[in-house]
């Protein structure tokens, strides 16, 4: 039986955007476990159960510039850099996902496949007109999904074929991705007005993989310029807001609780279920934060 989680917080908390949050019994209190500096615009963190290591993507420069500066770092679970440039030769790597012995990262217009045991790049799947490939998510069957927030697209790599899975303005500049059974949970940045600016922040969407239908998770109220999305132990979600530097817990009905408010640049998080651990890459301050979740009875 899953733990019952409690987050002691005012039920009347109102976000600056006017979103009324409620306290739920399935939220936890995050406590800082460690803080690790020395990265170069870290955008995503992923946990490898086989090696018990963390991999961190480093943009190391401009997010859309093909400069060859990007790299992946290898980090221990207790917060030490094992290899700062574990894999190099990338441009601006962002989202990360693992399936089997392969690590996948989104690199501007290319999905890069890395063989973990040998730390070598084994494949590059390029999209001719891609603009900003961002997050990556893997299904249990090995299908790899990639968002392009500037094109309102989600790509899919299946059986060696990389193609457009869905393209529609209804995706609202899709950023974070998480495979949730027969659906894909999307952290929407929202409609962009100038560059990354938005008049109204985004919210969580659900895409049914069978028919590609899109629905809101909740009533569609603005939540934030969403980046990372991960499921918790009860099938609800941890979500980051890049612009506001906030970490939310969002239940399956769309009710959101603010868990942390730090600084701008909170990017693509990782949640390690068996360790109750949240990893937060702070893209603008060049560090990764590890938060232990604590529970009340």
Which pLDDT does position 28 carry in this prediction?
87
- Rounded Cα distance between 201 and 193, Å, is 11
Which pLDDT does position 295 carry in this prediction?
87
Structural domain count, the chain: 1
The answer to whether residue 10 scores a pLDDT higher than 60 is no
Which pLDDT does position 24 carry in this prediction?
38
Residue appearing with tokens 């500096």: 37
The answer to whether residue 287 scores a pLDDT higher than 70 is yes
114 falls within a domain:
yes
Mean pLDDT of 113-119: 98
Which pLDDT does position 297 carry in this prediction?
63
Give this prediction's pTM.
0.90
Up-side HSE of residue 170: CA atoms within 13 Å toward CB?
11
207 falls within a domain:
yes
Per-residue pLDDT reduced to its tens digit, 132-168: 999 999 999 999 999 999 999 999 999 999 999 999 9
The answer to whether the CB of 29 falls within 8 A of the CB of 294 is yes
* Low-confidence winner among 6-15, 164-173, 182-191, 257-266 (lowest mean pLDDT): 6-15
Tell me which residue range forms the domain holding 104.
31-291
What is the pLDDT of the chain when averaged over all its residues?
91
The answer to whether residue 17 scores a pLDDT higher than 50 is no
233 falls within a domain:
yes
Per-residue pLDDT reduced to its tens digit, 33-81: 999 999 999 999 999 999 999 999 999 999 999 999 999 999 999 999 9
CATH code of the domain covering residue 50: 2.120.10.30
- Rounded Cα distance between 146 and 3, Å, is 32
179 falls within a domain:
yes
The pLDDT > 90 percentage for the chain reads 87
The pLDDT > 70 percentage for the chain reads 91
197 falls within a domain:
yes
Mean pLDDT of 211-225: 97
194 falls within a domain:
yes
23 falls within a domain:
no
Residue 27 pLDDT level (bands cut at 50, 70, 90): low
The answer to whether the CB of 56 falls within 8 A of the CB of 42 is yes
297 falls within a domain:
no
CA angle 217–162–52, rounded 5-degree value: 70
């Amino acid at each position: 039986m899953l733990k019952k989680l409690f987050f002691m917080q005012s039920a009347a908390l109102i976000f600056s955007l006017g979103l009324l949050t409620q306290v739920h019994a399935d939220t936890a209190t995050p406590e800082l476990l460690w803080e690790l500096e020395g990265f170069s615009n870290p955008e995503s963190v992923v946990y490898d159960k086989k090696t018990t290591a963390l991999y961190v993507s480093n943009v190391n420069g401009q997010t859309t510039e093909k400069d060859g500066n990007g790299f992946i770092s290898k980090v221990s679970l207790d917060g030490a850099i094992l290899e700062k440039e574990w894999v190099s030769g990338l441009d601006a790597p962002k989202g990360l996902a693992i399936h089997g012995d392969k690590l996948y990262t989104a690199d501007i217009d290319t999905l890069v496949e890395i063989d973990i045991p040998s730390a070598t790049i084994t494949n590059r799947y390029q999209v001719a007109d891609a603009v900003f490939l961002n997050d990556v998510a893997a299904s249990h069957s090995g299908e790899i999904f990639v968002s392009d927030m500037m094109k309102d697209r989600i790509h899919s790599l299946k059986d060696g074929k990389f193609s457009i899975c869905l393209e529609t303005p209804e995706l609202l500049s899709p950023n974070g991705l998480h495979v949730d059974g027969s659906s894909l949970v999307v952290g929407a940045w929202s409609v962009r007005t100038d560059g990354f600016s938005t008049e109204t922040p985004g919210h969580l969407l659900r895409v049914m993989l069978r028919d590609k239908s899109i629905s809101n998770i909740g009533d569609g109220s603005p939540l934030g310029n969403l980046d990372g999305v991960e499921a918790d132990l009860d099938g609800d979600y941890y979500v980051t807001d890049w612009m506001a530097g906030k970490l939310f817990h969002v239940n399956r009905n769309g009710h959101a609780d603010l868990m942390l408010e730090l600084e701008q640049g909170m990017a693509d998080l990782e949640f390690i279920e068996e360790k109750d651990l949240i990893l937060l890459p702070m893209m603008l301050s060049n560090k990764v934060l590890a938060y232990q979740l604590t529970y009340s009875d």
